Amino acid sequence: GEDVEQSLFLSVREGDSSVINCTYTDSSSTYLYWYKQEPGAGLQLLTYIFSNMDMKQDQRLTVLLNKKDKHLSLRIADTQTGDSAIYFCAESMEYGNKLVFGAGTILRVKS
């Protein structure tokens, strides 16, 4: 079945790098996504990666995809207190238009 797993909590110091990991099960996923949810808000698309790519960089964000292991990671360089949020990994399903989300990783940035 479809399942996306993430660790639930990550704590880092301001200025350090954060790495949030995710594993997924559907090898036919076309796109994989990272969403950010700030307190009291909806989810905001941070970045995405197409399944035939290994890496995507967007300013402080680096996404790494290992299709063989079905492992996705999000690295945030120079983490700031404003990066404190819940980060969700999601995969697209082969058929239809649904996404499957992980449970979310709470990132806490200590100053």
Partner 1 sequence: DVKVTQSSRYLVKRTGEKVFLECVQDMDHENMFWYRQDPGLGLRLIYFSYDVKMKEKGDIPEGYSVSREKKERFSLILESASTNQTSMYLCASSFSAGGSRGEQYFGPGTRLTVT
Please state, in angstroms and rounded to a whole number, the distance separating the CA atoms of residues 97 and 99: 7
| Contact range with partner 1 by CB under 8 A, out of 38-46, 54-62, 68-76, 77-85 | 38-46
| Closest C-alpha to 67, from 31, 19, 103, 105 | 31
In whole angstroms, the minimum distance from the beta carbon of 15 to partner 1 comes to 29
Helix (H) or strand (E) holding 57: strand 55-58
State yes or no: residue 43 binds partner 1 (CB under 8 A): yes
Please state, in angstroms and rounded to a whole number, the distance separating the CA atoms of residues 93 and 15: 36
Interface residues for partner 1 in 66-95 (CB under 8 A)?
Answer: 88, 92
- Applying CB under 8 A, the residues found at the interface with partner 1 are 8, 30-31, 33, 35, 40-45, 48, 50, 88, 92, 96-99, 101-104
